[in-house]
Structure 1
Amino acid sequence: MSERLQWIQDELDRLKESGLYNRIRTISTPQGAWLVVDGKRVLNFCSNNYLGFANHPRLVEKARQALEKYGVGPGAVRTIAGTLDLHTELERRIAAFKGVDAAITFQSGFTANLATIAALVGKEDVVFSDELNHASIIDGCRLSGARIVRYAHADPVDLEARIRENEGTYRRAIAITDGVFSMDGDIAPLDKIYEVTSAYNVMLMVDDAHGEGVLGKGGRGIVDHFNLHGKVDIEIGTFSKAFGVVGGVSAGSPLVVEWLRQRGRPFLFSSATPAADVAACIAAIDVLEESTELVDRLWENARYFKAEMKKLGFDTGVSVTPITPIMLGEAPLAQQFSRELFEEGVFAMAIGYPTVPHGKARIRVMISAAHSKDDLDKGLEAFARVGKRLGVIG
Structure 2
Amino acid sequence: MGLYVFEPVFESVQDGTSRHDNKDVIMLTSNNYLGLASHDAIKEAMKAAIDVYGSGTCGARLHNGTTLLHKQLEQKCAAFFGTEDAVVVSAGYLANVAGITALADTEDSLIITDQLNHMSIVDGIELAKGKVRIFDHNNMEKLEYILKKNADVAKKLIVVDGVYSMDGDIAPLDVITELAEKYNASVFVDEAHSLGFVGDHGRGACDLFGVEDKVHVKMATFSKSLAGCGGCLAADRDTCTYIRHNAHQYIFNASLPPATAAGVLKAFDLMETEKWRVEKLWRNTIRFRKGLKAAGFDTMGSMSPIVPIYIGDDMVNMKMTKRLMELGVYIATALFPAVPQNKSRLRATITASLSNEEIDTALEKLIQVGREFGIIG
Specify the TM-score bucket, using the shorter chain as the normaliser. over 0.9
1:51 pairs with 2:34: yes
Distance across 1 between alignment mates of 2:246 and 2:17 = 42
1:334 pairs with 2:317: yes
Residue of 122, 138, 147 corresponding to 1:138? 122
Superposition map of 1:192-211 within 5 A: 192-211=175-194
Amino acid at match of 1:267: Y
Distance across 2 between alignment mates of 1:52 and 1:146 = 39
Residue in structure 2 matched with residue 384 of structure 1 by the alignment: 367
Amino acid at match of 2:191: D
Is the contact between residue 5 and residue 318 of structure 2 (CA under 8 Å) also seen in structure 1? no
Distance across 2 between alignment mates of 1:139 and 1:158 = 22
Distance across 1 between alignment mates of 2:323 and 2:39 = 31
Is the contact between residue 217 and residue 224 of structure 1 (CA under 8 Å) also seen in structure 2? yes
Residue in structure 2 matched with residue 231 of structure 1 by the alignment: 214
Percent of aligned pairs with the same residue?
35
Name the stretch that deviates more: 269-278 or 152-161. 152-161
Structure with greater helix share of residues: 1
Is the contact between residue 84 and residue 236 of structure 2 (CA under 8 Å) also seen in structure 1? yes
Residue in structure 1 matched with residue 242 of structure 2 by the alignment: 259
Residue in structure 2 matched with residue 345 of structure 1 by the alignment: 328
Superposition map of 1:1-394 within 5 A: 23-121=6-104, 122-168=106-152, 170-394=153-377
Is the contact between residue 230 and residue 252 of structure 1 (CA under 8 Å) also seen in structure 2? no
TM-score by length of 1: 0.93
1:289 deviates by 1.6
Any idea what SS the aligned residue of 1:230 has? helix
* 1:95-126 residue CA offsets vs partner (Å, 9 max, x unmatched): 11222221111111111111111111122211
* 1:231-271 residue CA offsets vs partner (Å, 9 max, x unmatched): 10000110011111000100022221121122121111111
Any idea what SS the aligned residue of 1:80 has? coil
Is the contact between residue 59 and residue 284 of structure 1 (CA under 8 Å) also seen in structure 2? yes
Structure 1 spans left out of the alignment, 5+ residues:
1-15
1:387 deviates by 1.2
Is the contact between residue 131 and residue 153 of structure 1 (CA under 8 Å) also seen in structure 2? yes
Residue in structure 2 matched with residue 5 of structure 1 by the alignment: none
* 1:295-320 residue CA offsets vs partner (Å, 9 max, x unmatched): 11101110111011111111111101
Any idea what SS the aligned residue of 2:167 has? coil
1:166 deviates by 2.3
Any idea what SS the aligned residue of 1:213 has? coil
Amino acid at match of 1:146: G
Is the contact between residue 218 and residue 292 of structure 1 (CA under 8 Å) also seen in structure 2? no
Amino acid at match of 1:92: Q
Residue in structure 2 matched with residue 8 of structure 1 by the alignment: none
Is the contact between residue 312 and residue 343 of structure 2 (CA under 8 Å) also seen in structure 1? yes
1:54 deviates by 1.6
Any idea what SS the aligned residue of 1:149 has? strand
Amino acid at match of 1:350: T
Distance across 1 between alignment mates of 2:327 and 2:58 = 46
1:171 deviates by 4.4
Name the stretch that deviates more: 141-150 or 22-31. 22-31
Amino acid at match of 2:109: D
Is the contact between residue 201 and residue 207 of structure 2 (CA under 8 Å) also seen in structure 1? no
Distance across 1 between alignment mates of 2:207 and 2:6 = 38
Name the stretch that deviates more: 271-280 or 149-158. 149-158
TM-score by length of 2: 0.97
Is the contact between residue 316 and residue 327 of structure 1 (CA under 8 Å) also seen in structure 2? yes
Any idea what SS the aligned residue of 2:345 has? strand
Amino acid at match of 1:184: D
Distance across 2 between alignment mates of 1:112 and 1:181 = 17
The CA RMSD over aligned residues, in Å, is: 1.5
Runs ≥4 residues deviating over 3 A:
none
Is the contact between residue 16 and residue 354 of structure 2 (CA under 8 Å) also seen in structure 1? yes
Amino acid at match of 2:134: R
